[in-house]
Amino acid sequence: MMQRITILGATGSIGVSTLDVLARHPDKYRVHALSAHGRVDELAEQCRVFRPQRAVVGSAEAAQRLAALVDGLGIDVAYGERALCEIASSDDTDTVMAAIVGAAGLAPTLAAARAGKKVLLANKEALVMSGQLFMDAVREHEATLLPIDSEHNAIFQSLPAHYARGPQAAGVAKILLTASGGPFLNRAVETLSNVTPDEACKHPNWSMGRKISVDSATMMNKGLEVIEAHWLFGAPAEQIEVVIHPQSVIHSMVSYVDGSVLAQLGNPDMRTPIAHALAYPERIESGVAQLDLTQTASLQFHRPDFGRFPCLALAFDALRAGGTAPALLNAANEVAVQAFLERRIGFRDIDRVVRGVMDDVAHGAAASIEAVMAQDARAREAAQRLVAGLQGAPAPTRAAAQVAG
């Protein structure tokens, strides 16, 4: 049986890796729909190669350009959130790769879950923002949720098949989430204020989109992943431990009450978790070279330094606070990272903006998607105000504030 696939965020790092795996198995998978936001030329090229039935972009203008570029291929071109939700929930698709970056991925990813699809989840922000609502939708509509994030995919592979009954029943003592520590693991903390977006995006082991690359440099990415693990595996914050492992060979581990530790290892290439989830419970080739352990130098592990990586501590705080606190954290972080990438604020301002929003905006119950989105909007406004304040501050004041904060 051909599996019909929709890729949300096809032009991104995960989207391109997904298409690479699909191209290796034309007998198993067919692309139903692809989406992008603004990179129309890249999407048009993908359309020529993979011939989807539908393609969705971010605006009317982008749709017009795409339609001209794919004229004659019989592809239905649309734009906007509603169209994204349609291709995610269509009767003509079996599997949805959720690989839009940020909060923009929430509505279509949720639409896929509500339509009972097999959801391959890369868009961790959706789960961070609305974990309970999302997991409820998966259960209620009998969707299949498979993690793409390499750590969560590794944990999934290291858990028993009957895991749905929770950590206690499965004898799980701890989930050990590995983290490379990013490009600034060993850089002098006092020099971090001056790092550029390009330096922050230069990840030592993984090649990824710019937003998640900055998140890796602040370790907010690991913080979001702690929250993601909480929802995916039903584990409380106390049962999730972050371990720095700079080589990114072990992608995460599960520690059991009998003293066993199970891990998943591999070369750091997202095509492995993508292929795993696409074919689950079978296995298919992904194009990733086999791991040669004799060529792997020593593997190191140590505890994270929360002083160097305050965003990691803020994420644990948000998880413990519950309700809409993680949605506030995520929205503030998205605004701050965007401002940093546009060189409007410095690297160390990112955690200051996130902390400022967490302090200023009261969180509430995440009772509905509307409530979550309202909190998301409030957090974005507050974050923009803080960013504007930082932009206005002369450099010496900012440096002093950073030391104080």
> Does 183 participate in binding ligand NDP (rule CB under 6 A)?
no
Question: Toward Mg ion, which CB reaches closer, 150 or 272?
Answer: 150
User: In angstroms, what is the minimal distance from the CB of 398 to ligand NDP?
Assistant: 28
Residue closer to Mg ion, measured from CB, 149 or 376? 149
- Which candidate, 67, 128, 79, 138, places its Cα nearest to that of 103? 128
Residue 63 binds ligand NDP (CB under 6 A): no
Q: Which long-range contacts (CB under 8 A, 24 or more apart) does 398-402 make?
A: 398/346, 398/349, 399/193, 401/352, 402/193, 402/346, 402/348, 402/349, 402/352
Around Cβ 49, how many Cβ atoms within 10 Å? 10
Instruction: Kindly state the tokens that stand for 390.
Output: 């930082």
**Binding of ligand NDP by 117 (CB under 6 A):** no
58 part of the interface to ligand NDP, by CB under 6 A: yes
Which of the residues 221 through 280 are near ligand NDP (CB under 6 A)? 270
> Which tokens belong to 121?
């989840």
- Residue from 26, 38, 166, 405 touching ligand NDP (CB under 6 A): that is 38
Q: Are strands 95-98 and 3-8 parallel, antiparallel or unpaired?
A: parallel
- Answer yes or no whether residue 86 interacts with ligand NDP by CB under 6 A: no
Strands (E), 161-311: 172-179, 240-244, 250-256, 261-265
Exposed / middle / buried, residue 177 (Cβ in 10 Å: 0-12, 13-18, 19+): buried
We find the least distance from the C-beta atom of residue 150 to Mg ion, in angstroms, to be: 5
User: Which residue's CB atom is positioned nearest to Mg ion?
Assistant: 149
364 and 353 Cβ atoms separated by less than 8 Å? no
Q: Which stretch binds ligand NDP (CB under 6 A): 97-105, 293-301, 318-326, 385-393?
A: 97-105
Q: Which stretch binds ligand NDP (CB under 6 A): 10-18, 22-30, 280-288, 337-345?
A: 10-18
Residue 219 binds to ligand NDP (criterion: CB under 6 A): no
**74 CB burial (10 A radius; 0-12, 13-18, 19+):** exposed
Q: Single out the residue of 101, 133, 195, 328 in contact with ligand NDP (rule: CB under 6 A).
A: 101
- Residue 376 touches which of ligand NDP, Mg ion, none (Cβ within 5-8 Å per kind): none
C-alpha to C-alpha distance for 314 and 15, rounded to whole angstroms:
29
Site string for ligand NDP, 12-31 (x = CB under 6 A): xxxx----------------
* CA separation for the pair 353, 77 (Å, rounded): 38
Binding stretches for ligand NDP (CB under 6 A): 9-15, 36-39, 58, 99-101, 104, 122-125, 149, 206, 208-209, 211-212, 270
